[in-house]
Structure formats: C-alpha cells, structure tokens
Chains A and B, each alone.
Chain A
Amino acid sequence: MDFIANLPPHFFRIPIALTLILTLVFVNALIMVYLERKIAGHMQYRLGPMEVGWHGVLQTAIDAVKLMSKQLIVPDAAHRKLFRIAPLLAFTPAVLPFVVMPFAPKLQGIDLNIGLIFILAMASLNVMAIFVAGWASNNKYGLLGAMRSVSQNIAYEIPILLSLLSVVFVVNSFSLGDIVGFQGKIWFIVLQPLAFLIYFVSSVAETNRAPFDLPEAESELTAGFHTEYSGMAFALFFLGEYTEMFIVSSLATAVFLGGWHGFPLPFFEYSAIVWFLVKTYILMFFMIWFRWTFPRVRFDQLLNFSWKYLIPFSLVNLLITAVVVKL
C-alpha cells in the first residue's frame, strides 16, 4: 500500500478526469445532436424528430447504434493508413482541452499555467485532421473542402488569439483558473465586449459551422472533407465537431462570461458547475441559432470578413487594452 500512497496525485487525478471527460464528450454529442435537430425544426415551423421515444429523445442514441454497426468503406484510390488515422486525429485533440477547463473551483483536471495556449494549440490541430482526411480520401470534393478549411482556419485563428490576448493582458496569466478567478466581481464581457464578439464570431468559423461551413458545404461539395467516410469514422468527425462546439463555448464562458461565477442556487451545493454548464449551453444555443438563420457566406466574403473586419478590430482592441493596462 505504501507504493500506492507514494504515487504522485496526478497519477490518479488525470485518469479520473479523462474518464469523466470522455463521458461528457459522448453525452454532450447525444444532447447536442438532438437539440440541434429539434431547434432547427422549430425554427423552420417543423417539429424535428418525434418518433423514437418521447418527442424523439432516443433518436440520437438509435442513430449512434446505426453508425457503429455500419462498415467503414475505404476507397481503392485512398491512402489507406492516413484515411484511417484522420478520424482519430480529429477526435483526440477535441477531447484533450477539457483537461485544463475549469468547470468549477475544484473540478479541473489540471490547472496548467499555460492552459489557454494548450487549448488553442489542441484546437488548431483539428485543421490538420481535416486536411489529412480530405487529402487521404483522394476525392475532389474532399480535397476542395480540406483546402477551404485550411485557409479559413488560418484566417480565423488570428482574431481568436488576438481577442483572447487582450484578456490575458488584463489578467497577466495564461492559467484558466486565474482568468476565472479574476472575474469574481466583473465579467470580461463587460470589460471587453468587442473581444467577446470577435472571439465568438471567429469561433463559429473555427468549428466549421454555418454560416462559415464552407469545408463541408453540402450543396457545393456534397460533404466536403468527410465525403468518403462512413460508419464510425464519420461519427468520430461528427463527435469532434460537436465537442469542438462545446470547447469554444466553454472557453468563452471561462474567459468572458465569468466561468463558474454566479449567485449560489438555493438548496444546491454544487451551483458552480451548474452555472458553467448553463452559460456554455446558452452559447451553444446561439451557435445553433446562427446556423439556422444565416445563409452560407461566399469564400471571398469569408476571408474579407476576417482580414478586413475581425483582425483590424481585434488589433485596435488589443492596442487600447494595452494602453489602458499600462496607465
């Protein structure tokens, strides 16, 4: 027993955290797919899924079973190894950022002092997966989707970094625990409204969702980079996309919306995690709302919007922040 007692605490902490994170990722995907279809339905005067279970609540579970039982077909001309690696490459970096996410004061896998950088680094690996998937499937739609994805993500990662940097200037720390702790009195959405807007718009683009869903534009590229994928490989991309949504929303919650701060709920001890999840899901509702309202932008509009509007505005915002902090 001495041996176990002498192990460093992270030896137990990280596996437990990863188990909980994987549970969260799958449950979140189940909930989000259902919510997305339901909200989309109601926004178009439809009802959404209604048949399986009460108001279709079991529909996503059934779909998951169907996807798992399907065969992964590898095209003859595809690069066999990369074709199989790409879905894993899309899914793994989507899960890792949760390790540093501060869900509640004591509910955080590990509070890295470079937490924010870790999340951004992992989030940008997703582009790699999309590019590998598009290239390896040896399909013109896949390659076009992958190409679009790369240029889009390069264009939109800069405003994300710049807008988060203006918050880091104020807090003087990259640790997410510190950033959330700083917002006890006033949230950063009040101090940095422009940075929040820029971050949120760019993060919608970063997750490849409508109106910036050019990499998978159904009506132009059939399905973009995942045209050739079927079964569980496709499901992993799908899972990655919804997890990415959760990550950018929870990062926005932690950095701009005060994280787990909120007045204590009555009769409930763990109000911190409830506040965190409520804020995150409200942001995700906004992302779904955007998707079912706005038409897809053209490619030149997409790049113009980033280089002509988001980046200059975030630079100006950063400059003002730096001046104010120095004073």
Chain B
Amino acid sequence: MKNYFVDLFSGIKSLLIGMGVTFTAFFSKGATVQYPRETNYIAPAYRGHIILLRDENTGGHKCIACGMCQRACPSGCITVSTVKKEGEKKKTLTGFDLDFTKCSLCAICVETCPSGAIDFSNEYNLAGFTKEEFHYDLLNYPKESSC
C-alpha cells in the first residue's frame, strides 16, 4: 500500500520536472540556423579548395610558375601550364587548373609553394551535376568569392 502512493507521487514529480524542462525550452531561442539565409561562422582555418592569392601591390597573382605544387601533389590534381616568352628571364603562367574531385585537402601544395601563392579558400557551398564542375581554372577564379 505504501509503494502504491510512493509510486504515484514520485511519478507525478518526475512528470512535472519533465514539463519544466520542455517549458524552459519553449521560451528559449531555437538552435536552428536558417541555412540559405544565414550561415554559421566559418573558421579561417577551414579548408575549402585551394585558390591563388593575389598580390596586393600589383593586383596580379603571386605565382612564379615554378610548378613545385604540381610535382608535390600526391593526387596529381594540379596542372600548371607555362610559356617561356622570348627575351624574358622568367616563365609566365598561362593556366593553373585544379581537379578538385581528386584533392584530399592535404595542404602539401600550400606548404611547398615558395612564393606563398596558394592558400585554402572558405568555399563550402559546393554542389554540381557533373564532375567537370569541380575542375577549377584558378587563374581566372572569380575574385569576389575567394576568401
């Protein structure tokens, strides 16, 4: 008989505690981030696909067309094309293509680059219908969406 009432009152107490929990939750701000309209903070260290950094003084890229990133890349996803023009000492960069489908974001290219021209972007909104949409021409990569 004693257990009968103990069960009843302990049950009612636990139900009331539960209702308190949901009631406080009801008046708290939701944890939802309304994704396409608002996004969470992206840490600067986030690794998106690589981009070529711009030189602030000249406005052009910092790449010296040495091709070390291409040789260092373990997945072979970087293709650097160069031309040696008549009368010029250095090679000129004509194309910097990234096949992001193979990239594992290992950062070896970023570390090997002698001029510090390569860095990761914060681009995370990646979606596409074909593989080719993830082949990036980084030389002509749109300026405004980088970093």
A5 to B34, CA, bound (A): 61
Chain A interface residue count, CB cutoff 8 Å, equals: 16
A310 to B98, CA, bound (A): 71
**Which of B6-45 touch A at CB < 8 Å?**
8, 15, 18-19, 21-23, 25-28, 30-32, 34
Check if B23 sits within 8 Å of A289, measured CB to CB. Answer: yes
Known contacts A293-B19, A309-B8; A46/B26 CB under 8 A: no
**Interface-side segment among A36-44, A66-74, A223-231, A235-243:** A36-44
A307 within 8 Å of B (CB atoms): no
Check if B26 sits within 8 Å of A43, measured CB to CB. Answer: yes
Check if A45 sits within 8 Å of B21, measured CB to CB. Answer: no
Closest CB in chain A relative to B31 CB, distance in Å: 4
- CB neighbours of B27 from chain A (8 A): 42
Known contacts A289-B23, A309-B8; A41/B18 CB under 8 A: no
Check if A50 sits within 8 Å of B21, measured CB to CB. Answer: no
Q: Is the interface of B mostly helix, strand, loop or mixed?
A: helix
Check if B31 sits within 8 Å of A46, measured CB to CB. Answer: yes
Taking CB as reference atom, which chain B residue is nearest A308?
B4
Q: How many residue pairs, one in A and one in B, have C-beta atoms under 8 Å apart? A: 36
A47 within 8 Å of B (CB atoms): yes
**Which of A282-327 touch B at CB < 8 Å?**
289-290, 292-294, 308-309
Taking CB as reference atom, which chain A residue is nearest B32?
A47
**Which of A45-62 touch B at CB < 8 Å?**
45-47, 50
- CB neighbours of B4 from chain A (8 A): 308
**Which of A85-99 touch B at CB < 8 Å?**
none
Top-7 shortest CB links A-B: A45-B31, A293-B22, A43-B22, A47-B30, A47-B32, A293-B18, A42-B26
5 A-B residue contacts at CB 8 Å?
A39-B26, A45-B28, A46-B32, A47-B30, A293-B21
